[in-house]
């Protein structure tokens, strides 16, 4: 059995709850659509995510691994870093307005290690990881709270073949605050992340982890879960196929220790494992 360093990821709730930030994608959809997600929460609070391509389950998985590694061995990147690499990462994060004074957090690892920690079956091919990291790097974020505005990239990716073996990434201030425990955060089991096999289960798992506390349960309609993964409407036949995928994803989660009870037609009570 492989030896893993990561037990859990302490993730930012906004990145996990923003509807449509990570979603199920059709074949070829990344060539025809863009990422444009607005998440409003609380009075006068909103977050905007924009990018040239939508984000899918593969991007979600890679980000989970990077945030988890940052929690284990990340280094705080202050607003005025002293090293050349730190300055480059800070510039690539492009902090704007109020975010210019926020901390970020830096993690460095090999692609092989990142692949192993997030459960990739083949750990020798770094290309899929690089593609996801570069897609995440292209995402810009604007956070507004009342009159205060903050802007930055989702992450900054810096590589040097002479100095680094793998990837050197700076996580944005929202993710940094979650890792450091200074803002609202959620806990996601990395053993569950590694065990999940399907796209739908992966997307649903993160959303439910953000919505249901450890050892607790909540009630939800099956169609609501469908909207989490497929935010755009569909025909009757397509909707039935989507609901079937959600049911299969829930079955996969029950194999990991989650409990799902249908107490009325299309109405579920979902209980998260107590660990």
Mapped onto helix, strand or coil, the DSSP state of residue 16 is helix
Provide the pLDDT for residue 217.
Answer: 97
Tens digit of each residue's pLDDT (9 = 90 or more) over 209-244: 999 999 999 999 999 998 888 877 667 788 888 899
Task: Write down the pLDDT at residue 181.
Answer: 82
Q: Which token pair is 182?
A: 């200074």
Q: Which pair of structure tokens corresponds to residue 140?
A: 């810009």
Phi-psi region of 28 (alpha: psi -120 to 50; beta: other; left: phi over 0): left
Where are the domains positioned within the chain?
A: 8-191, 197-271
Q: Where are the alpha helices (DSSP H) in the chain?
A: 13-17, 57-73, 84-93, 111-117, 127-137, 173-180, 190-195, 199-211, 222-229, 236-254
The number of beta carbons lying within 10 Å of the beta carbon of residue 145 is 14
pLDDT at 194: 95
Characterize 4-21 residue by residue with b for buried, 16 or more Cβ atoms within 10 angstroms of its Cβ, and e for exposed.
Answer: eebebbbbbbbbbbbebb
For residue range 75-85, list pLDDT tens digits in order.
Answer: 888 888 888 88
How confident is the model at residue 121, as a pLDDT?
78
Beta-bridge partner residues of 49? 37, 141
What is the rounded distance in angstroms from the CA atom of residue 243 to the CA atom of residue 222? 7
Look at the domain 197-271 and name its fold: Arc Repressor Mutant, subunit A (1.10.10)
pLDDT at 234: 66
Which segments in the chain show pLDDT lower than 70? 1-3, 123, 160-165, 233-234
Residue 1 pLDDT:
52
Q: How far apart are CA 236 and CA 249, in angstroms?
A: 20
Opening angle at CA 22, ends 17 and 27, nearest 5: 155
């Amino acid at each position: 059995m492989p030896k893993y360093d990561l037990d859990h990821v302490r993730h930012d709730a906004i990145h996990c709850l923003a509807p449509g930030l990570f979603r199920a994608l059709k074949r070829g959809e990344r060539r025809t659509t863009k990422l444009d997600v607005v998440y409003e929460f609380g009075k006068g609070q909103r977050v905007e995510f924009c990018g040239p391509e939508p984000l899918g389950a593969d991007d979600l998985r890679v980000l989970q691994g990077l945030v988890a590694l940052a929690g284990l061995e990340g280094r705080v990147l202050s607003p005025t870093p002293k090293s050349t690499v730190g300055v480059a990462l800070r510039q690539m994060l492009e902090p704007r307005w109020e975010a210019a004074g926020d901390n970020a957090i830096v993690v460095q690892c090999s692609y092989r290690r990142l692949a192993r920690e997030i459960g990739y079956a083949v750990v020798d091919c770094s290309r899929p990881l690089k593609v996801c990291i570069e897609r995440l790097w292209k995402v810009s974020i604007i956070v507004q709270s009342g009159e205060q505005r903050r802007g930055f990239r989702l992450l900054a990716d810096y590589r040097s073949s002479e100095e680094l073996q793998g990837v050197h990434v700076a996580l944005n201030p929202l993710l940094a605050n979650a890792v450091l425990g200074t803002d609202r955060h959620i806990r996601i089991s990395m053993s569950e992340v590694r065990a999940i096999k399907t796209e739908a289960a992966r997307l649903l798992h993160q959303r439910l982890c953000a919505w249901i506390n450890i050892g607790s349960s909540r009630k939800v309609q099956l169609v609501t879960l469908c909207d989490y993964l497929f935010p755009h409407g569909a025909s009757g036949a397509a909707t039935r196929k989507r609901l079937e995928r959600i049911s299969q994803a829930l079955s996969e989660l029950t194999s990991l220790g989650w409990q799902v009870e249908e107490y009325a037609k299309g109405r579920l009570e979902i209980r998260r494992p107590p660990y």
